[in-house]
């Protein structure tokens, strides 16, 4: 049933966008088809609003936040409405109409910032250890070279329950480092990979089969454009140079027991006692 609803929503969205484009670009043809009086600007306005409604339906399929969807759809309609007034410049009022688009843009950006620049759907409720990274857009994934030197790389992350998923490609240096040493740390970061919070120690495991598909779906749901379209396209186009796409599941390392200390060198080893009579 869910797939049917999504399919019908997509169909309605595409039809409505097509109607909007038709009314905006060929108002006379549209008027003749539906039997409207030949009023060009009236038909332009119909096209603008249809365009906005269609965009709202399509965005609702990939964006999780209702307010973002509503604001984005309103913005699309407002921009198209402004264009219709510019096309019919004899009517004037283009500045007043454009003001609605400006206000919608301000609200949309503010809401986007509130959402940490995420528009997709988050996974199931995270385990306590992953809660800080559940709604994080970018994290610094730190892996180690053979000599122990840590190297941090900014990556996207999708948390689902007690695991977190990250994506790379076959010939990336971080993939090589993780293959040699699966122990990593993950910290919330800026888009450039500068940590802005405490790191979480974890163990990375390369995925195959159903787990690979689950990781792909989780990343695409959280990042509809980036990991649903752009990154897979980049990996596919550059496969000869980068190798295949790889996914890793990150599992938190157990917390150290409070008060426990590592034994000093030479301590904690069994001692053989020789008793002589």
Q: Where are the domains of the chain?
A: 2-114, 128-252
**For the chain, what is the largest distance between any 2 Cα atoms, rounded to a whole number of angstroms?**
119
Cα separation, 98 vs 95, in Å, equals: 5
Q: Are 158 and 124 in contact (CB under 8 A)?
A: no
pLDDT at 199: 95
Cβ atoms < 10 Å from Cβ of 94: 17
Q: What is the dihedral of CA 247, 252, 253, 257, to 10 degrees?
A: 180
How much is the pLDDT for 277?
Answer: 41
- In angstroms, rounded to a whole number, what is the distance separating the alpha carbons of residues 24 and 43? 7
Give the pair of three-digit tokens for residue 247: 């996914």
The CATH number, out of the four listed (2.30.110.10, 2.60.40.420, 2.60.40.10, 3.10.180.10), of the domain defined by the range 128-252 = 2.30.110.10
- Residue 142 near residue 184, CB atoms below 8 Å: yes
From first to last of its 277 residues, the chain has per-residue pLDDT tens of 778 999 999 999 999 999 999 999 999 999 999 888 778 888 999 999 999 999 999 999 999 999 999 999 999 999 999 988 887 766 667 788 899 999 999 999 999 999 888 999 888 889 888 999 999 999 999 999 999 999 999 999 999 999 999 999 999 999 999 999 999 999 999 999 999 999 999 999 999 999 999 999 999 999 999 999 999 999 889 888 889 999 999 999 876 655 555 545 444 444 444 444 4
Q: How far is CA 270 from the centre of its chain?
A: 53
- Strand partners of residue 184: 202
How far apart are the C-alpha atoms of 55 and 2, rounded to whole Å?
20
The DSSP-derived string for the chain is: -HHHHHHHHHHHHHHHHHHHHHHHH-HHHHHHHHT--S-HHHHHHHHHHHHHHHHHHHHHTT---HHHHHHHHHHHHHHHHHHHHHHTGGG--HHHHHHHHHHHHHHHHHHHHHTTT--S---SPPPGGGHHHHT-S-EEEEEE-TT--EEEEEE--EEETTEEEEEEETT-HHHHHHHH--EEEEEEB-TT--B-S--EEEEEEE--HHHHHHHHHHHHHHSTTIIIIIHHHHHHHTHHHH-SEEEEEEEEPPPPPTT--PPPTT-SS--------
Measuring CA to CA, which residue among 249, 242, 232, 250 is closest to residue 169? 242
Say if residue 270 is exposed, middle or buried (CB neighbours under 10 Å; 0-12, 13-18, 19+): exposed
pLDDT score of 262: 52
Prediction pTM value:
0.78
pLDDT at 240: 86
Tokens representing residue 98 in the block: 């454009």
């Amino acid at each position: 049933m869910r797939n049917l609803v999504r399919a019908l929503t997509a169909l309605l969205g595409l039809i409505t966008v097509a109607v909007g484009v038709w009314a905006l670009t060929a108002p006379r043809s549209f008027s003749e088809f539906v039997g409207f009086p030949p009023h060009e600007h009236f038909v332009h306005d119909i096209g603008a609003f249809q365009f906005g409604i269609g965009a709202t339906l399509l965005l609702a399929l990939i964006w999780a936040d209702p307010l973002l969807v509503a604001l984005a759809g309103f913005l699309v309609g407002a921009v198209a409405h402004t264009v219709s007034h510019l096309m019919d410049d004899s009517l004037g009022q283009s500045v007043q109409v454009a003001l609605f688009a400006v206000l919608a843009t301000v609200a949309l950006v503010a809401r986007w910032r509130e959402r940490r620049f995420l528009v997709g759907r988050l996974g199931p409720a995270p385990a306590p250890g992953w809660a800080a990274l559940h709604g994080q857009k970018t994290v610094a994934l730190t892996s180690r070279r053979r000599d122990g030197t840590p190297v941090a790389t900014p990556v996207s992350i999708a948390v689902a329950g007690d695991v977190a998923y990250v994506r790379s490609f076959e010939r990336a240096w971080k993939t090589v480092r993780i293959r040699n040493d699966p122990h990593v740390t993950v910290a919330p970061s800026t888009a450039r990979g500068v940590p802005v919070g405490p790191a979480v120690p974890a163990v990375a495991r390369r995925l195959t089969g159903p787990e690979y598909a689950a990781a792909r779906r989780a990343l695409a749901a959280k990042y509809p454009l980036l990991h649903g379209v752009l990154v897979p396209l980049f990996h596919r186009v550059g496969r000869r140079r980068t190798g295949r796409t790889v996914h890793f599941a990150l599992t938190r390392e157990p917390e150290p027991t409070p008060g426990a200390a590592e034994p000093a060198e030479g301590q904690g080893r069994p001692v053989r006692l020789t008793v002589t009579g």
